[in-house]
Every structure is written in C-alpha cells, then in structure tokens.
Chains A and B, each alone.
Chain A
Amino acid sequence: MRKPEEETADDKLLGKTIATTLRAQLKGAASGCPDAETLAAFYDRALTERERAVWAEHFLACLRCQEYLAELARLSDADEPRPLVEADAATAKAAEASWYFRLAWVAPFLIIALASALWFREDIERVLQRSQEMAMKTAEPAPVSETPAAAREGDVTPKPEAARRPTQPLPAKATPPVAPSSKLPRMEPEGRQAAMPAAAAVDEIAAPPGTMVMPSRRAVLRDKAMAAEPSPAEGGEEKKAQDAAPAAAPALAGARTAAPTAAIGPSFARQEAAELRGLTIQGAQPRFTPKWRVGAGGSIQRADEAGGWVRVPSGVSDDLFDITFAGAAGWAVGQEGTVLRSTDGGNTWSRVSPPTSEDLIRVSAQSDQQARVISRSGQSFTTTDGGRTWK
C-alpha cells in the first residue's frame, strides 16, 4: 500500500471524502463509554473474547473512544526503538554493511574449515594424540648413560620405555622442556636436569649406526629458540657444548627461557588478567557492578550491595531520564537539555552546557570527554570535549 506521502491527489481527494462522510456517520454515537482501565485492557488485549467483542461493537460507533485508542497507539511509538537522525542512521547502516561484508567474506572459509575439521576429525585426533605422546616422551628423562651407550654401540632402536620414563611431572599446559645433548654438563635449573637429555637423545638415537647424526627439524627449531637468551652463568660450558654438539648447545639457554613459562601456574594469572579486561571466567567470583537509576526532581541513586538504594546529590531539580557510565565517567540527561557529568564514578556530578532546550532522553558515552545524547524529537548531539561544545 502506498505510504501517505506517496498518495496521489486523487487518493487524497477520495480519502478526505471518506473522512468527512465517516465522521458524519459516527457523530453522536457515544454513550456508555468504558473507564480508563477497560479501555487500557482492550488495548493491551487483556479482555476476554466476549468482553472484547462487546466493546469493539461500542468503539465502532464511538468517535470519542476511537480517539482514545488512537492516542494510546500513538503513545506506544515511544516503546519502539528510537530512530536515529539521518546522518547517524547512514553511519550505522554503513558500519553494519561493513560488518556484513566482512562476515560474508570470511564465512565461506569458515564453512570449509569446519567441514574439513569434521571430515578429517579422526585423523586430527590421531595427530593430536601422537603429538601429546611425543610431548610426554620428550618430557620424560632417559638415563644419560644408557642412551649414548646405546647410540655408540650402534643400537639404533630407540628405547621407548627408558625414554618415556618420567622423572618429574610437568605442570598442566606447560611448555615442554627441551633437552640438550646428553654429552653436555648438567647446568640446567634444578628439576629440569633429568628431563633434558631425552629429546636430544631421541634425536641421536634415530640415526642408524655409522651415519652422521643430523639434528632433526625439531631439534633445529628448538635450538633456535634457545639461542635467543643464552645463560651468562653457563657461557663457558655452553661454548664447550657448542663444539661438542652444536645443535644442542643453545638448548641450555633455550631451556632456561622456557622454564619460567612452564613454571607459571596458568589459572590465577589468566583469571586476573581476564577480569581486568572485563571478561567473565566461568566459576570465578563476579565483581559487584553497581546499578544506577535516575528519576524525578534530579534524583540519582546507586544500588548498594545490600540491595538498597543510596541517593547521590545531583545539584539539579529537573527530572532526569537516562544515565550511563564509561569507566569512572558518568553522564546523566533530563528535562530541558539537562546534562550532568561525573568523573569520579558517580560520587559527584556537575552540570555541563546544554546542547538544546529540548528534553534529552538518552545518553551514551565512550569516556569523560566523549558522549552522545538524543532529544525527545530524535535529534542527536555529540561532544568530544566533556560537554563544553556539542555538534
């Protein structure tokens, strides 16, 4: 159906004729009008079917009651989300379109990745399991004398039991320690010594007798990581170790670098960091977030932990309609352009210059300098200087 602004002149002519004729037919119809509650209940569709039918019959003929219902319908516009002014709507639409575009771009890849993950689930699980086993294996110390002897003797068969025998349980999710060559002196921090040789030992064992022991790819990567921070205390030994087993020497430093990571307990630090970022960790104790409300006569109240409300002086007597916080910065708005700002978490408030004399009914804020307010007519005003000026 055409919108009113799209109606032709002919439509409007017919419409006006209909309006005039109907008004004449409905004149003098009203008697026995319902009270405010019945009218409101009719509008809320809270009457029984029979009641509704009876009152609907009355409303057909009663212009006065139709007017009442029309006003209720008009007032319900306030219950709908407020439309933004054109510029903001365009910006919001553009931002939304941008998000849709990004999502549309990523979506096919996500779908493919998900499908692949499902298709190759078993293989992936197998690889993960194998990695875990390898990690466990490198974490377990093998007796130093055993492996080199075995290697020297040309025994190429790895000794899984020895290699995997744990000497020290690792913390959960810790970075697996790396092991230098078994020929190197034991200079690692306590607790990690026994774990050291295993990886290098495994690398060495892998080579068949008579062949040059080439470091595995893993050993190379490990050595590179270790080379980042060589330990000053072991400089001499390291040099010797490098001559003896070039691939393994940096393992000392790398191992020491890795150690601190492994030693940190994961749960507390991450929980605290996440809380500070405002995330919620399941099971963590939630922080109390105070609630605020505003109302008539400049009233601002904060909920306390006991469930009551504490009044905070606002310094104004105008009705307030909305309040928001961005960190410690608070903003409140109300009648006839009233805008209040707080920089101390709502303990004190001061008035800032009003952007308009209209009632302001909504406020949003990014900081104590940046905020946006919306008037009753839907106009939007923004400040970037704490309310000194508005655009």
Chain B
Amino acid sequence: MANLTFERFFSDHQERLKELHAASGAPTWNVPLEDFARAVWAGISAPDQVETGSVPSLLKKIRIEELALALACAQGNERAWETFSFGYRNVVYEAACAFASDVTMARELTDSLTAELYGLETPDGHRRSKLEYYHGRSSLKTWLRAVVYQKFVDEYREMTRLVPLPEEMPAPAEGRAISDKDEQKYASLLSEAVSATLRELPADEKLILSYYYIQQLTLKQIGRITGEHEGTVSRHMDGLRKKLRKRIEDYLRKIKKLSAYEMERCLSFESRGALFRLDKELKSG
C-alpha cells in the first residue's frame, strides 16, 4: 500500500466507491462521497509494516452502513446522532457497567464517552468526535466496547481495586503438612518444571493457557477470540493439560531425578501447605 495514494485509490475505484456510498445510506445522512471515500481509505490503508492485500477484497469487508452512520454523527447530523443513540448508547452503558465498580461510575463513564463521541469543541473552534477514528473495519459495537475499555483503563481503573481476591481453598489435611524447607524445595521444583515446559510450548498454546489461567476466561469466551467452537477449545485445553502434566512429570523424573514419592509430594496439593505461599507469589507476581 506504500505506493498507493488516496487520489489514486479514489480514481481507480470510483465506481465501486459510488456503489458503496449509495448502499451505505450515506446520502440519507448527507455524507458526501469524498468524505466517505476518505474514511474507507483510512480503514484499508494500514501502516506500512502490515501488508493489507488487494483493495477490492478489503472494500468488501468494510461495514459501510455503520461507517456512514459514524461519519454522519461526527459531522454533526442530529438525525444520525439520534439513530446512533438509540442503537448504540446501550452498548456503551453495558460495557461501562461491566468494568465500573458501581452504577454511578458506569453512568459517569457512559456520559463522558458519549460526549466525546458526540463531539467536543477544540480550542480552534472545530468539533472533534471520537467517531472519526472509526473506519468500518470492525463492527461498531466491538469498536465501542474497545473504546470504553480503553477509557476505563486510562482514566478510571486507578480509582478501583482490580486485584482479584485469592481463591478460597481448603487447608491441607492436618498431620500431612511438610516442613517449610521441604515445602520451599518442592514449590521451587514445580515452578522450574512448569517454566521449562511452558518455554517449549508453541506460542498459540501458551496464548490459550494465558487466556484460561491468567485472564480467567471461559472456554466459550476463548473460542470467541480464537474463532473456534467451545467444544473444540475444550478438547484443545484437555489435550494441553494432559501434555503439560506429562512433560512436567517427565522433567521432574528425568531431569530432577525425583522419586515417585517426591513427585507425588511435588504435585499433590494435599501433601503440601504450598497453596498459601502460592497465593502470596501470585499477588506479588
């Protein structure tokens, strides 16, 4: 895309752009063809380090109706804003409710972002709307959710506590606790085995483990990111956990030369008082 300019893009694909302009409803919102074309161009002309492929296939993927609506709102069309408000304000509010610690914060976050989407006056007297940054590559709903989260992280997260409470786990059975010295040894061995095993894993498998163990997503939610069915993700995770377990055991047995008894101590919760220390490590990590 480095050699293609907007002018060349517009002249080469004018007919197609006219079709898209008409189909998007942009004339209804009084959005001129050139403005529409510029917005489309901004969407498909990705940074140079990313190869963007051929223009016709990219044009097919642009969400033209949503782009036209966003453009009209950014240009101050009140009717378009009303349509946007009825269709999408709830998306913003729902996302805000998911992040905010209470309803008041959620409403504040929603109202604040809504004002930015509507358009704030800049010092030079122009109106600037956050909707100008939407170019139709994603759905408007997903884009709004990403923007809400970004705003929340940037402005509101510091005001709330996000550290998850440690999971409640039963204390190990009395009489089976091991000494602190042994406990440290086994915890360290396990950590080393896990670390070595994870380093050898392909990146996509590590990513799934990260979504599951760090982000605490459900299998269905992971499937939404990877584009797989929940059942497929479940099978992946199952196989991955078995593989991990086996490799960790192999590492402990073959490399660390642990006996079966020691391995059982290492991997079994009941044998250890490890969990409380593990929670501390998690908080500090």
A-to-B contact residues, CB < 8 Å: 1, 8-26, 35-41, 43-48, 50-51, 54, 56-57, 59-60, 63, 66-78, 293-296, 299, 301, 309, 319, 321, 335-336, 359, 376
CB-nearest residue of chain A to B145: A75
Partner of B95, one of A11, A75, A293, A299: A75
In chain B, residues 223-246, which have Cβ atoms closer than 8 Å to a Cβ of chain A? 224-225, 227, 234-235, 237-238, 241, 244-245
Known: A13-B278, A37-B135, A39-B146. Is A319-B214 also a contact (CB below 8 A)?
Answer: no
CB of B263 closer than 8 Å to a CB of A: no
- The yes or no answer to B143 lying at the interface (CB within 8 A) is yes
By a CB distance below 8 angstroms, the chain A residues around B185 are none
Are B146's CB and A13's CB within 8 A? no
Instruction: Please indicate which of the listed interface residues B52, B58, B143 has the most CB atoms of chain A within 10 Å of its own CB.
Output: B143
The residue on B at minimum CB distance from A296 is B89
| Minimum CB–CB distance for A295 against chain B, Å | 4
Partner of B58, one of A12, A45, A48, A335: A48
A20: which B residues are within 8 A, CB to CB? 191, 278, 281-282, 285
Cβ-neighbour of B138 out of A46, A73, A376 (below 8 A): A46
B169 at the interface (CB under 8 A from A): yes
Q: Which residues of B contact A37 (CB under 8 A)?
A: 43, 133-135, 137-138, 143, 146
B5-13, B15-23, B201-209 - interface stretch? B201-209
18 contacts between A and B (CB under 8 A): A8-B269, A9-B169, A13-B268, A13-B274, A14-B245, A18-B198, A20-B278, A21-B195, A21-B198, A36-B147, A39-B146, A44-B138, A60-B203, A66-B210, A75-B95, A76-B224, A296-B89, A296-B114
Would you call the interface of chain A mostly helix, strand, loop, or mixed? helix
* Given A68-B146, A75-B98: A12 touches B217 (CB 8 Å cut-off): no
Q: A15, B213: Cβ atoms under 8 Å?
A: yes
Q: Are A72 and B213 in contact (CB under 8 A)?
A: no
Instruction: Confirm or deny: B85 has a beta carbon within 8 angstroms of a beta carbon on chain A.
Output: yes
Interface flag for B99 (CB, 8 Å): yes
Contact at B194–A12, with CB atoms within 8 Å? no
Tell me, rounded to whole Å, the shortest Cβ–Cβ distance linking A58 to chain B.
11
A74 and B221 contacting across the interface, CB-CB below 8 Å: yes
B146/A45 in contact, CB under 8 A: no
Query: Any chain A CB within 8 A of the CB of B50?
Result: yes
A73 x B244 contact (CB < 8 A): no
Whether A40 contacts B146 by the Cβ 8 Å rule is yes
Contact between A76 and B203, CB atoms less than 8 A apart: no
How distant is the Cα of A19 from the Cα of B211 in the complex, in angstroms? 10
Whether A45 lies near B227 (C-beta < 8 A) is yes
- Assembled-state Cα–Cα distance A71/B169 (Å): 26
B51, B195, B210 interface centre (most CB from chain A within 10 Å): B210
The residue that A336 contacts in the complex, of B103, B138, B198, B207, with Cβ under 8 A, is B103
- Given A1-B235, A18-B244, A23-B214: A35 and B137 within 8 A (CB)? no
CA distance A59 to B209 in the complex (A): 13
Contact with A along B46-63 (1 / 0, CB 8 A): 100111110001100100
- Asked whether, in the complex, the Cβ of B267 is within 8 Å of the Cβ of A23, the reply is no
Which residues 115-174 of B have a CB within 8 angstroms of A?
133-135, 137-139, 142-143, 145-147, 149-150, 167, 169-170
B50 touching A54 by the CB < 8 A rule? yes
Q: Is B250 on the interface with A (CB-CB < 8 A)?
A: no
Is B259's beta carbon under 8 Å from chain A? no
Are A72 and B142 interface neighbours, CB within 8 A? yes
Q: Is the CB of A57 within 8 A of B203?
A: yes
In whole angstroms, what is the CA distance A35 to B6 when docked?
Answer: 21
B58, chain A: closest CB distance, angstroms = 7
User: Could you tell me the distance in whole angstroms from the C-beta of A37 to the nearest C-beta in chain B?
Assistant: 6
- The docked-state distance in angstroms from the alpha carbon of A76 to that of B141 is 10
- B223: nearest chain-A partner, CB-CB: A73
Shortest beta-carbon distance from A290 to chain B in Å: 16
Instruction: Please judge, given known A-B contacts A20-B281, A37-B137, whether A74 and B89 are in contact too, CB under 8 Å.
Output: no
Given A10-B267, A22-B209, A60-B207; A40-B139 close (CB under 8 Å): yes
